[in-house]
Chains A and B, each alone.
Chain A
Amino acid sequence: MAATRTETPALAAAQTGWLLAIGFVALAPLAPHLPGWLAGATLAALVWRGWLAWRQRPLPSRWRLTLLVLAGSAGVGYQFGSLFGQNPGVALLVLFLALKQLETRTVRDGLAIVLLAYFLALAQFFYSQTIPAALATAAVAITATATLLSLTDARPAPAAQLRRAAVILGQALPFMLLLFVLFPRVQGPLWGLPKDAGSGLTGLSDSMAPGAISHLSRSDAIAFRVRFDDAMPERAQLYWRGPVLSEFDGRTWRPRRELPRATLPYAEPASGGIGYEVTLEAHGKPWLFALELPGATPELAFATLDFQLLAKAPVLARQRYLARSYPLLRAGADESPALRQQALALPAGSNPRIRRLAASWRADARSDGDVLRQAQAFFLRQGLIYTLNPPLLGEHSADEFLFDTRQGFCEHFASAFAVAMRAAGVPARVVTGYQGGEVNPVDGWLTVRQYDAHAWTEVWLAGRGWVRVDPTAISAPTRIDLDLAAAVPAGDPLPLLMRAEFSWLRDLRFRWDAVTNTWNQWVLGYTPERQRQLLQRLGMPAPDWRAMTALLAALCGIALLLLTAWILRRQRRADPLARQWEKLSRRLARRGLGRQAAEGPFDYAERVARALPAVAAEMRGLAALYARLRYAPPAADRAKTLDQLRRRVACFRP
């Protein structure tokens, strides 16, 4: 019966069950991120352990386990090419969590599993930091805590253990929030997040070859979200400027090779701007999108001579920036001749038909403005059709689009228009980015998705600078004023979310988007800057980590005190008689004569009487009164006696 101190008790059946449960629960959220064979093997190990427990068979021998560990580690090493690093590390921990189950005999082994499970709950955030991931982590934490509870006391039913674990974690919630809000934030993630964690896709690329692809991305992935400081500009003004393509080889448009610079090549106007905040999803490129035209570069960003904003590094994680744009601003009136010359370049021999036409426009025109108007009129006359599935184009893509197929989407329009303008001797370039967006009615944020990707044209007019011309708007104005769905002919396949019959899905999506956005903004996006803003609002003008740690310690202390006070208050009985007796004891405690918990009234009175003979008689009287009230048969004059006790305790001066 007497166990030695070194070995902990053997596991009860319920405890083994709990350990298996935490094994499954901790494995589940990680399984999609593990190699298939490893997920299968760990699952098999858990099932095997469950079978052994069920049939009450002995656990596998030590050398067998050693073989399994070696084989598993070798597999992980082979899979990832290393045993070190984040992915192989997580894989190894998962493997050990499963294999450790096969040698758990005592409570101490169980503790190792629980600690491993807690750690793996965090490891999940390497792969995903969404709300479902957080919920999964909470589930693991509750199960792990319940398992921990069961290791100390296996008797309560599973539901009771889970409830107790949830209550314990719930009590920790205020501290968690305090720590989250006030603990000094580290710039950047604590562990370098892997490149793949934030990798995203974009509907844009850094080159454009109209006609080379016959369908446009219909991805409804979110590109970025925008919150406007004041009212949102009208939809037709929502041109989100991205890469500017000014080099054309007859087929493909490419951006100019150019070193980014610290500021935009024009001065920010004094008034008339639109302030907004962009939360950009990761897309793996350095582009920052801003309404045309941005007034200044955001913090930690560059600009190009083409008025594009660039981040200092590819955007591998969600990024938030403030920007201010001026829709009426015209810039580049003083554009350098070299750049203007570049914007006229066309490869010799390409697109002969549009060249001939452009030459005729030039001949009739007195200014570049006249040429532009003629070109716009021509585009309108041609009856071009906006479609997401245009036919493929050959070598002279602009000619074929304008004169033969007459079907295309924004890239075709923008490219053909820029070619035509260049052919007519007007500097022109293609600007890509996004157009429009969708206001989420739930939270009022503007959501721009990948299918909002767009391309338009900029022409340079003397005295005015670069002027935006959207040839898509000429032929298919609804694409700009309404949305894609309105622009494409009936029957054209549309992105799922845009279809009318899925309006309920859209509504659901809006709500989920709003929730996700709040989570992104306030949980994932709680950066040092945001913390600083919050603290400033709380009245800490220049918080440093010392002051913040002090504040944190003070607040945690206060929270603990409140909690303790609440618990003590709950324990204290509302019994007035007990209160009088405790009052007496407190008063005597100042003389070192507090009542001991297991001391009856008369024993206490005698002890006090011996120590303080001056009050001996009164103390004995008080004890007799108290004992009568508490232990004697209830008497009619109880209230009076209690009152007497209260008065005598109040007068009692030891």
Chain B
Amino acid sequence: MHAPASDGPLDAVVAAAGGIILGKERQIRLALACLLARGHLLIEDVPGVGKTTLAHVLAKLLGLAFQRIQFTSDMLPADILGVSIFDRARGAFDFHPGPIFAQVVLADEVNRATPKTQSALLEAMEERQVTAEGRTRPLPAPFFVIATQNPAHQIGTFPLPESQLDRFLMRIALGYPDRAAERELLAGADRRELLAGMSPGLTAEQLIGHQESVRRVHVADALIDYVQALAGHTRVSADWQAGLSPRAALALLAGARAWGWLAGRDHVLPEDVQAVLPGVVGHRLRPADDLPAANAVQRLIEAVPIP
């Protein structure tokens, strides 16, 4: 993708994060785009490639409150949302907010929890509020969940059903670092120390402003045609078991807006759509044959002409 990206508004943040997570600029940008589009991110990869670090870095650089929830199979919804405890002194119940009450929540290994707990998290993600004991409490803004999961064929996991996967704007994989990046990682300083030494480049208010700007990025008619053509193709093509929903098309447009804005533009290009397409549709579509999803998405891009 060669859309011009010389003077993006968050280039400094991207560069700073790139100093810690080496050789993963594209994934950092996708994660940022996901956050700017007010979506949530699912990172699917084997342990130890830097999923948690990425979440930490983003929270730190953007000046957001960070919470980490390690999901286990014996976890209950209250462990996430919070509980009310009777305060003898006041003679009333006192709500103790759970770890979900943060601006950046890292839900680590979300597929280890039972479906009941998973759905508590996912409902909160969707509603951006928590309802407990008849009281609805809004979650902080911005609110950004980064969930990670190991590839589903590992033992003792509860894979997220499709309806739950749909709550994530994007799903990305980090992948192993390339040779040079890995060498630098091995030879360089400890990542946690570097992280501790970082200072936020933004405030939460600025971030909310940026989210507003992203929503105002212009989408031309020709581009809407393109998004429609892509969705339409998934619905008739034999490559997929089922086509993209209108919500998925909206997500694609939102992701493309954020990507274009990150590149410093006030409008969306077809290249932006193509850049976020694998992340946005990869977990929403199931290839009809044994083709890997990535290949199928590439075929989708090549099959649909840009109007």
Contact = CB atoms under 8 A, between A and B. Distances in A.
A602 B3 contact: yes
B305 A601 contact: no
B1 interface: yes
Contact of A599 (B220, B303, B306): B306
Interface string A595-623: 01111111101100000000000000000
B271 interface: yes
Nearest to B302: A598
B222 A631 contact: yes
Contacts of A606: 2
B2 A597 contact: no
Contacts of B3: 600, 602-603
Given A598-B301, A603-B2, A633 B218 contact: yes
Interface string B263-280: 000111111001000000
Nearest to B275: A600
B170 to A, nearest CB: 20
A484 B199 CA distance: 120
B4 interface: yes
A353 interface: no
A155 B82 CA distance: 53
A579 interface: no
B304 interface: yes
Contacts of B268: 631
Given A598-B306, A600-B306, A633 B4 contact: no
A603 B305 contact: no
User: By CB atoms of chain B within 10 A, which of A597, A602, A606, A631 has the most?
Assistant: A631
Nearest to B230: A598
Interface string B93-136: 00000000000000000000000000000000000000000000
A598 B271 contact: no
Chain B interface extent, by class: 20 to 34
B267 A633 contact: yes
A597 B306 contact: yes
Contacts of A599: 306
Contacts of B305: 597-598
B266 A600 contact: no
B223 interface: yes
A475 B303 CA distance: 91
A540 interface: no
B4 A624 contact: yes
A135 interface: no
Contact of A632 (B1, B218, B270): B218
A635 to B, nearest CB: 11
B269 A600 contact: yes
Interface in B4-52: 4
B267 A598 contact: no
User: By CB atoms of chain A within 10 A, which of B1, B2, B218, B271 has the most?
Assistant: B2
B269 A601 contact: yes
A213 B267 CA distance: 100
B74 to A, nearest CB: 38
Contacts of B303: 598
A542 B127 CA distance: 86
Contacts of B223: 631
Interface in B210-233: 218, 220, 222-223
A630 interface: yes
Given A631-B220, A631-B222, A605 B269 contact: no
A630 B271 contact: no
A627 interface: yes
B219 to A, nearest CB: 8
A636 to B, nearest CB: 15
A632 B269 CA distance: 8
Contacts of A596: 302
Given A598-B301, A600-B271, A630 B222 contact: yes
Interface in A582-604: 596-603
A602 B267 CA distance: 14
A400 B306 CA distance: 100
B299 to A, nearest CB: 10
B304 A627 contact: no
Contacts of A601: 269-271
Contacts of B269: 600-602, 627, 631
A632 B266 contact: yes
Nearest to B222: A630
Contacts of A627: 269
Contact of B2 (A602, A630, A633): A602
A412 B274 CA distance: 99
A578 to B, nearest CB: 8
Contacts of B220: 630-633
A630 B268 CA distance: 10
A598 to B, nearest CB: 5
A598 B4 contact: no
Contacts of A602: 1-4, 269, 271
A600 B274 contact: yes
Nearest to B301: A598
Contacts of B266: 632-633
A602 B222 CA distance: 16
B149 to A, nearest CB: 27
Contacts of A605: 2
A216 B218 CA distance: 93
Contacts of A598: 274, 301-306
A331 to B, nearest CB: 82
A10 to B, nearest CB: 19
Contacts of A633: 218, 220, 266-267
Contacts of A631: 218, 220, 222-223, 267-270
A603 B306 CA distance: 12
A369 to B, nearest CB: 95
Given A601-B270, A603-B2, A631-B267, 5 more contacts: A600-B274, A602-B271, A631-B220, A632-B267, A633-B267
Top 7 nearest A-B pairs (CB, nearest first) are A597-B305, A600-B270, A606-B2, A600-B271, A633-B218, A632-B267, A631-B220
Interface of B: 1-4, 218, 220, 222-223, 266-271, 274, 301-306
18 contacts: A596-B302, A598-B301, A598-B302, A598-B303, A600-B1, A600-B269, A600-B306, A602-B2, A602-B3, A602-B4, A602-B269, A605-B2, A630-B220, A631-B270, A632-B220, A632-B266, A633-B266, A633-B267
Interface of A: 596-603, 605-606, 624, 627, 630-633
